[in-house]
Structure 1
Amino acid sequence: MLSVQLLLLISPVLAWIPVEDWESGNVTASVGDSGQCLCHVYAPDTTFPADRVEHMQQVSKDMIIEVEIQVNKLVSYEAKLHVYLKDLSELTVRVAVLESSPDKYIKLDFELLRIELREFEALVSQLKESLNVSSPLFDSLYTEIQNMTMIVNQLETYDKSNLEVIRIEFAKLQKKLEDCQQDQDFKPDIGNCNGTGIVGLSKPNVIQLNAHLSSGYLQGGWAKDSKPLRGYESMYVYGAYTSSHIYDFYLYRDYDSLILRSNFKHYDLPNGWVGTGSNFAVRGHSIYYQRSTYDMCKINVTSNSYDYRAISEASGSFSYSYSTNQILDFAGDENGLWVMYASEASKGKIIVAKIDEKSFGIEDKWNTGVYKQLSGNAFMACGVMYATRSVDLTTEEIFYALDTRTGEEKNLSIHFPKFQEKYSYLDYNPTDQKLYMYNHGYYVSYNVKFN
């Protein structure tokens, strides 16, 4: 029995007792010895479910924590979704412009749009999987992306003949504008090597990202034939890789084809002929590249034949400061075909070797006074080897020259700006007196000024 003073304390207990278990005879009242009023309660089940209460409390805490986690996720996804929607809105505007004026754009514009649309589709898929829900908003985004892809495909097929003519004219105009933008002091005197050498470079002409449209292709380069066959004077060769291995080369008939990534020939190097390093040279319709530490390789583009020669003294311990595996560095200029390397005997200093193009052997060689590992790169022009090094993040310097005709060495200080800090390829071409650089995945060129 419980007194009325304790009734409030037991009320939580009574609340757990089902109503149907109560009977009218279970509650009685009486007067105590001191005249106080007493209330007597007979509970049918006095056992308090403490374990159930504890379980409910734990479940409640877990649910609160889970709700907080999900709320934080929603906040994060909402922020991401706003960013994606903004980017998608901007892309929609670009597609609308393309749709209104399709004849003002080239094939590359359509390909870039497709790539961005694929990226948006992947982002929306990732977001949907993260939320693990189905929403009309996601369905709407998918529909809009698919519609935009269809529009891009339709625009590219619109009036193809007219678009092709406009594309060619646009590329020609772009080339003329690029030439006009160069410093007017750089007027080439093709084939003339009577001066005292290089005295300056123009500002860098950043053409575009590589043919793979990926900044991950850091190793490799692009070049023109330094002694082209008739009909191939405008040919370009490109080969770039995500590692220091050379797997293939792409050949383009002219500048327009290079910009549009429309190659006329693609070489997949067969087993046993895969190259290494970040350098190659094109001369006489042949591509020269490094197969191993010691081997010079040659692909004859006309006959599709392969050949190699070993330079036994070349050492794999010495490479340029910007490249880890550029042991043999090929170059072609007004005076012939060259290869530069370092050996243990030269103590890491660059050796310049003249290659006999007919026998594919070493004709002559010269020792230089410049350490290869301290040089960013090197190239040949008019029989003179020039070495470069970094001044700061945006400036490079031609600091050394060796004239193979006289054996004279010079210390120079010819500064020129660079697009990115490090580059993997630097090659001079005598047919247009330009310096070709492959800088962080981008085609870059310089006009060379001679004295």
Structure 2
Amino acid sequence: MIDTLYFLALLSSAMAWGRLGLLSEGSVRNGTGGGSGDRCTCDAFLPSSTFPIKDLVVVEQTAVEISHKLELEMGKLEDYEIKLTAYEEIIEIIELIELSVQIEQMEKNPDAYNDADKVEIKIEIKQAEALIKELHLSIKGSTTVFESLRIQITVMVQTLTRLELTYDKNLVLVTRREYIKVQLQLEECERRHQELFNPNIGSCAHTGIIKVSKPVVSQLNANLNAGYKYGGWGKDSKPVPDRESMYWYSGYSSASIVDIRLYTNYKNLLLRNHFQHHNLHSSWYGTGNNFIFRDNTLYYQINNPFGLAKLNFTTGKYESKVIPRASSRFSYTNSPNQNFDFAADESGLWVTYANEESAGRMVIAKINELSFGVEEEWQTSVYKPGVSNAFMVCGVLYAVKTVDIKTEEIFYKYDTKTKQESSVSVPFERFQDKYSNLDFNPTDQKLYMYNDGYYVNYNLWFNYTAKATVEPPVLLS
């Protein structure tokens, strides 16, 4: 009797997960065994792979922990806003340059100032120093927390993806919702952090990129297919009204462009809940993976004829353009058919390619968005087959190469304004082995990478030359 109750409990538990397989009518049987009297004997054939509930519990616990940490950080950010306001007021009062002059005058003519004047100036300096130090420590602390949370979320992404690909999706739906909630909280926290301490989005008052963040991994593609290694994702670089928060994705198992999905916001991207799914007409199919979405228009490469294409989803109009000198022989190292690479930055739309005349060296072309014609071209000295990808920021081309199995490096830049090129070294980390799309978006100053089927993005740091940033001045000792 005890064995029967145990089996019924096991049966009930297994059936709840939908993972118990009864091989035949004889798989569960009642009978008597030798010397067992009226004892009931039952055999159950359970599947070789049971649902790893422990993994799911770990993910759920991690989600709760990260959520609590983010709530604390959001509270800190609200405190930072108050402190920054106080900081600005102090700066307005002190005007440190004038203060320096005033102190110099004191040294030259000490009799003109009394002790009260000197004490007042010292107090103002000490107040500013104390506030600046506190802000620096706060910012540094938040940055450390964000990096830690990113690592935890990356582990959650991998676990959830593995569970979704292996087991019934309904079993992990609740946990995925918790993960999405945490991911959105982190996104909002980072956005506010960026607004407070990097208010330069859209500004080109800098001398270039000086740092790239750790990879921020969103999830596996909307097709839930790790074989969809070719594709791209991101935001519209020039969004139409009411679509500022829209995301897009297009992926395939080969270097082809056959469809595109649009999502109203980041949350729906994570939920894989698109509001539009456009299947391209077969005569409009594209190739390569360096396409972008700009002004509700897809810009991409075609092979028949070999050239450029644009498909406007507002008007439904399709256009193509041939660049006679462009060659189909030179592609990036990561995937085939990446002959034309579209890019968008603060100054407009660009495309890069290589030709026979330049012996495979990259050419930068500025595209007129209305006429879809080339306005101007610049010849670089960087050999395209030695480049893994490239992008434009403020009219400057940045070329990237692979260093090792985990590391990429921005190693070259060409400024179209000055026609100057130079070597740089800004390494950054990949999430997976290979990637097929890397593009900068000027609306949030992020790099978007499609990395072996995963959505990945990076924050960028620039060497700003103007005082647009909230940057503490050097105080007198």
Identify the TM-score tier after normalising by the shorter chain: 0.5 to 0.7
The residue type paired with residue 249 of structure 2 is Y
Pick from 372, 390, 397: which aligns with 2:402? 390
* Counterpart residue number, 1:439: 451
Q: CA deviation at 1:191?
A: 1.2
Q: Secondary structure at the match of 1:291?
A: strand
The match for 2:219 among 199, 204, 208 is 208
Closer/same/farther in 2, CA of residues 414 and 360 from structure 1, 3 Å limit: same
Q: TM-score, normalised by structure 2?
A: 0.62
- How far apart are the structure 1 equivalents of 2:416 and 2:300? 22
1:93/1:303 CA distance change after superposition, 3 Å: same
Amino acid at match of 1:117: Y
For residues 422 and 168 of structure 1, the distance between their equivalents in structure 2, rounded to whole angstroms, comes to 25
Q: Where do 5+ consecutive residues of structure 1 fail to align?
A: 1-80, 99-103, 120-148, 157-162
**Aligned-partner residue type, residue 252 of structure 1:** Y
Q: Distance in 1 between matches of 2:418 and 2:262?
A: 37
C-alpha change, 1:167 and 1:239, in structure 2 (3 Å) is same
What pairs up with 1:60-75 in 2 under 5 angstroms?
none
- State the Cα distance separating 1:92 from its structure 2 match: 9.0
User: How does 1:115-130 map onto structure 2 within 5 Å?
Assistant: 115-117=165-167
Q: Structure 2 vs 1, CA of residues 89 and 243 (structure 1 numbering), >3 Å: closer, same or farther?
A: closer
2:280 aligned with 1:269: yes
Deviation string 1:94-131 (CA, Å, 9 cap, x unpaired) is 59x99xxxxx9xxxx99986653369xxxxxxxxxxxx
Structure 1 counterpart of 2:430, from 390, 408, 418: 418
For residue 113 of structure 2, what is the aligned residue in structure 1?
none
Match of residue 248 from structure 1: 259
- Write the letter of the residue equivalent to 1:356: N
Structure 2 distance, partners of 1:216, 1:186, is 39
Q: How many residue pairs get matched?
A: 323
The aligned counterpart of 1:449 is: 461
* Partners of 1:397 and 1:415 within 8 A in 2: yes
The alpha-carbon deviation at position 381 of structure 1 amounts to: 0.5
Any idea what SS the aligned residue of 1:272 has? helix
**Are residue 279 (structure 1) and residue 329 (structure 2) matched?**
no
- Using the size of structure 1 for normalisation, the TM-score is 0.65
What is the match of residue 88 of structure 1?
Answer: 50
CA distance in 1, matches of 2:332, 2:160: 38
Cα shift at 1:89:
4.5
Please tell me the residue identity of whatever aligns with 2:209.
Answer: I
Q: Distance in 1 between matches of 2:45 and 2:388?
A: 44
- CA separation in 2, counterparts of 1:333 and 1:432? 11
Q: Tell whether the 8 Å contact from 2:180 to 2:271 is kept in structure 1 after alignment.
A: no
| Distance in 1 (alpha carbons) for counterparts of 2:400 and 2:265 | 29
In 2: Cα distance, 1:211 partner to 1:235 partner: 15
Letter in 2 for 1:258: L
Aligned to 2:238: 227
RMSD of aligned residue pairs (Cα, Å): 3.4
- Of the candidates 389, 399, 414, which is equivalent to residue 377 of structure 1? 389
Q: What is the rounded CA distance, in whole Å, between the counterparts of 1:421 and 1:111 in structure 2?
A: 17
Offset at residue 83 of structure 1 (A): 11
1:446 counterpart letter in structure 2: Y
Gaps of 5+ in 2: 1-43, 61-66, 68-158, 464-477
C-alpha distance in 1, partners of 2:165/2:428? 34
Measure, in 2, the Cα distance between the counterparts of 1:110 and 1:394: 22
1:213-271 deviation per Cα after TM superposition (whole angstroms, max 9, x unaligned) = 11111111102111111111111110011011111011111100111111111111102
Q: Is the 8 A contact 2:238 2:294 kept in 1?
A: yes
Q: Which amino acid aligns with 1:276?
A: T
Amino acid at match of 1:331: A
Aligned partners of 2:382, 2:259: CA distance in 1, in Å?
Answer: 32
C-alpha distance 93-443 of structure 1, shift in aligned 2 (>3 A): closer
Deviates more, 1:198-207 or 1:334-343: 198-207
Give the secondary-structure state (helix, strand or coil) at the position aligned to 1:338.
strand
Residue 173 of structure 1 is matched in structure 2 by: 185
The structural deviation recorded for 1:317 is: 0.6
